[in-house]
Amino acid sequence: APARVAIVSGAGKGLGRAYALELSARGVAVVVNNRRHADDDEASADRVVREIRARGGRAVADYGAAEDPATGQQLLDLALGEFGRLDVVIANAGVSEAASFARQNVDSFTQTLTINLLGTAYLLLPTFRHLYGQSSGHVLVSTSAAGLFGEHGLPAYSAAKAGLIGLMHSL
């Protein structure tokens, strides 16, 4: 088994990809999570796994969606099944919207809030419990200045990121 194992959600691009690559460069085996996009011929999670493996690292892809309550347990099971342990969880999956509050509808607001806030909770409920039970581990939650100060055109995103700050403080 590797010395350390991490789950990184939203690891197909941007910050999540950077986290996965950096952890791998430090010898950490990585569960690379990113939902599939209909227009991708190759899933972004697969591209990142291929990149990690090409550099000599260990990684496995997962395509669970952040808003699916089953994804957190699925990721924990994959980490334990593939690598035998879990040490780090980086909750990075998220989406933003581009609409002022006056132009949003309930469905779009709820979807953004669900992916960003509840999606992180869905990931952390089983994985935090596991880390807590083994009395060791690290959790990192990606948030934003929008959660502290709000941002025009990102009301649901701002609300979700503020909620994540509260969640982190409570953990």
Asked whether the beta carbons of 105 and 93 are under 8 A apart, the reply is: no
Catalytic residue among 63, 122, 132, 157, which?
157
**Beta strands, E only, the chain:** 5-8, 29-33, 59-62, 88-91, 138-141
Give the SS3 label for residue 5: strand
How far, in Å, CA of 78 to CA of 99, rounded?
36
Does the annotation mark 122 as catalytic? no
What amino acid occupies position 126? P
The residues that are catalytic are 157
